[in-house]
């Protein structure tokens, strides 16, 4: 009898993953095609990229590592900061907090939906670069790590930002852009990290986007700065730290 009660109280890891996927699937159906998500996640990074690159005397092929990093950065960090405050505003988020699912699994569900969105969107500039602008894949390992680890890390960043004390999507998006805009200029998106001034290279160590863009540069055959091992380990460390903080913040809501 005690073992049965323990089983009821503590769901299996597989059951938690199944519930997390249910949350991800729900978010994908509801939020992927919202105008705000498409605008901030896809159209805005492309507009910003071309605004800062038009007129520069550079070959188009050298711009695609930065474009991929920027697209991935904006797309993955948009879904959760839109969906979480939207659900808080419509008072449906409380049902998630009181549902028979652990907070780590709920956070994982939100992160996975953002991860899949960013993964699909980031393939678009890669395909364009390979098909029309002469980009080549020099390291499939670095490229896959950038798409997987970078995507997961930045999706977790979006989840963490969504836990700020704001109850509407515009308020959270304002906080999100305050974070995103400075990171764009110290993370090797517009200028490769090795060519940044000394203070820029120092600051780049504190941005998870730096390691993602560094892997993209390596994957597409350009000069890297941190190296695959350091970039991969730092992305894993940032992901774990931001995931833990997201769970802590959501637990504080539930008190």
Placement of tokens 């970078």 in the chain: 150
Say if CB 212 and CB 150 are below 8 A apart: yes
Q: Supply the DSSP symbol for 222.
A: -
pLDDT of amino acid 57: 66
Task: Name the packing angle between helices 169-186 and 79-89 (round to 10°).
Answer: 160
What integer pLDDT is reported at residue 9 of this predicted model?
58
Q: Retrieve residue 243's tokens.
A: 């995931």
Residue 120 CB neighbour total at 10 angstroms: 12
Q: Which residues contact 69 (CB under 8 A, 6 or more apart)?
A: 146, 150, 187, 188, 189, 209, 212, 213, 216
Using 50, 70 and 90 to split pLDDT, how confident is the model at 6?
very low
pLDDT (tens digit per residue) in 123-162? 888 888 888 878 889 999 999 999 999 999 999 999 999 8
Q: What angle separates helix 169-186 from helix 208-219, to the nearest 10 degrees?
A: 60
For the range 199-202, what are the long-range contacts, defined as Cβ-Cβ under 8 Å and sequence gap of 24 or more?
A: 201/225
Section 80-92 average pLDDT: 80
Q: Domain map of the chain by residue range?
A: 14-253
pTM of full prediction above 0.75? yes
- The secondary structure of residue 173, as a DSSP letter, is H
């Amino acid at each position: 009898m005690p073992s049965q009660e323990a089983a009821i109280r503590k769901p299996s890891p597989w059951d938690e993953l199944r519930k997390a996927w249910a949350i991800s699937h729900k978010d994908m159906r509801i939020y992927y095609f919202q105008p705000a998500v498409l605008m901030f996640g896809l159209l805005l990074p492309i507009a910003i990229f071309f605004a800062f690159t038009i007129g520069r005397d550079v070959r188009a092929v050298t711009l695609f590592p930065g474009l991929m990093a920027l697209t991935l950065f904006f797309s993955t960090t948009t879904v959760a900061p839109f969906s979480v405050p939207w659900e808080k505003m419509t008072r449906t988020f409380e049902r998630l907090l009181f549902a028979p699912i652990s907070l780590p699994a709920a956070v994982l569900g939100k992160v996975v939906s953002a991860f899949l969105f960013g993964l699909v969107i980031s393939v678009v500039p890669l395909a364009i670069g390979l098909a029309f602008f002469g980009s080549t894949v020099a390291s499939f390992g670095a490229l896959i790590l950038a798409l997987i680890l970078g995507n997961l890390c930045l999706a977790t960043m979006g989840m963490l930002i969504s836990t700020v004390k704001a109850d509407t999507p515009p308020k959270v998006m304002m906080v999100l852009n305050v974070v995103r805009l400075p990171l764009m200029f110290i993370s090797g998106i517009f200028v490769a990290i090795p060519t940044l001034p000394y203070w820029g290279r120092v600051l780049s160590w504190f941005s998870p986007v730096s390691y993602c863009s560094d892997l993209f540069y390596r994957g597409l055959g350009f000069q890297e700065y941190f190296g695959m091992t350091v970039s991969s380990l730092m992305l894993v460390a940032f992901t774990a730290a931001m995931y833990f903080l997201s769970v802590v913040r959501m637990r504080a809501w539930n008190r």
